[in-house]
Structure 1
Amino acid sequence: MKKMPIFAGLTCALALSGCSTLDNMMSDGFSQSELPAAIQVPAGNSVAMIGTVENGNVAWVCAQQDNGRYDWKFAGPSANLMDASGEQLGSYYGPPATWESVDGSKVTGKQLATAPAGEGNIPMQLVKANPAMGQGAMSGVTYIQRINLNGGKAPAGGCTAMAEGRRYISGYTADYVFWKAM
């Protein structure tokens, strides 16, 4: 099932201008106006690239929490980042959350904010990137946004003392927008 963009107005505006892919937004101007304020990238940054995840996975593990109850704990992502033509740009994995380009450069980062992305979906996210490791596409990345989500959530139940240590893999799709300082 193909995901629908959260910023539908932007997609319509792009379609009217002859631009139909996220990659083309870089040259036509990327507007964050329809994204929640909490995950908007500060002024002084511009879109460097956009990677789409079509068949990503989020791993969850059943574990006892500090309060003594059992619940699903985030164990890490695994996904390929693709461009609009279907070519692989890199991968996303963790922990720690790492975005790695096919050229070997990579970044990790610190989550600054999240915003709800709808029932059954992991949240939208804003990450402040750490300095890149290696030279290449990830060099100079300042922020990473996760938008246009579908799936990825932990199950609503099933995590008990009897299930402790059990892993659950949840499929998801998303777009990751990589920003660099202007």
Structure 2
Amino acid sequence: MKDRTVMRLSLAGLVLGCTTSQAGTLPAIPESLRPPATEILALELAAKGVQIYECKARADEPTRFEWTFKAPEADLFDRAGRRIGKHYAGPTWESDDGSKVTAAVKSRDNGPDSSAIPWLLLEAKSTTGSGVFSRTTSIQRAHTAGGNSPAETCSEAQAGQVSRIAYSATYYFYVPKP
């Protein structure tokens, strides 16, 4: 398998690390991506990493090939710019304090940048540990930059090739209201 990194971050993606908001204040998010009213914003983290795609035969047409999303791989940073965890397949967010949350997509919105991966609302499926992610019930992915599948097509000759596309995003973690 050939592995390559494609760096396609926009200036907006580089500035993302400077984004701040007050915990408990809802970010500017489309209504379809809002968590239930019974939840409050507890944590905002910037993610910087890659979206990993693999060239595979299409399930519905095995003689045609396409880039298929495999997994995210990103570091998570707090508002002070300190790395506090990682994001990977599952999708899972894991803090350096040992807590984890695994979630599933509940809804999506294309967001304002068509060259970036969609914005998402995810629902927690499981949590472990007693740290920052232990009470998470919903997660929003917003303010994305980059991360879309490769623009070039893939073919049978490239089957199994992996492409790592740079992305950044802000993740908002929600917990039940007290």
TM-score (norm 2): 0.85
2:164 corresponds to 1:159: no
Q: Which residue of 2 aligns with 1:120?
A: 115
**Structure number with higher helix proportion:** 1
2:135 corresponds to 1:140: yes
Instruction: Tell me, yes or no, if the aligned pair for 2:85 and 2:96 is still in contact at 8 Å.
Output: yes
Give the AA of the match of 2:96.
Answer: V
Q: Which residue of 1 aligns with 2:29?
A: 35
Shifted more, 138-147 versus 154-163: the winner is 154-163
SS in 1 for 2:22: helix
Q: Which residue of 2 aligns with 1:3?
A: 13
Identify unmatched segments of 5+ residues in structure 1.
7-19
Tell me the CA shift for residue 5 of structure 1.
9.1
Q: How many residue pairs are counted as aligned between the two chains?
A: 163
Paired with 1:30 and 1:4, the residues of 2 have a C-alpha distance of 23
Q: Which residue of 2 aligns with 1:173?
A: 168
Tell me the CA shift for residue 76 of structure 1.
0.5
SS in 2 for 1:38: helix
Paired with 2:14 and 2:29, the residues of 1 have a C-alpha distance of 14
Instruction: Tell me, yes or no, if the aligned pair for 2:26 and 2:41 is still in contact at 8 Å.
Output: no
Instruction: Tell me, yes or no, if the aligned pair for 2:12 and 2:145 is still in contact at 8 Å.
Output: no
Question: Cα RMSD (Å) of the superposition?
Answer: 1.9
SS in 2 for 1:35: coil
Instruction: Tell me, yes or no, if the aligned pair for 2:13 and 2:167 is still in contact at 8 Å.
Output: no
Paired with 2:153 and 2:13, the residues of 1 have a C-alpha distance of 27
Paired with 1:181 and 1:5, the residues of 2 have a C-alpha distance of 30
Tell me the CA shift for residue 67 of structure 1.
1.9
Identity %: 30
Instruction: Tell me, yes or no, if the aligned pair for 1:5 and 1:148 is still in contact at 8 Å.
Output: no
Q: Which residue of 1 aligns with 2:6?
A: none
Q: Which residue of 2 aligns with 1:88?
A: 83
Q: Cα deviations across residues 46-82 of structure 1 (Å, max 9, x unaligned)?
A: 11111101x3111000001112121111110111110
Paired with 2:14 and 2:35, the residues of 1 have a C-alpha distance of 22
Q: Which consecutive aligned stretches of 4+ in structure 1 deviate over 4 angstroms post-superposition?
A: none
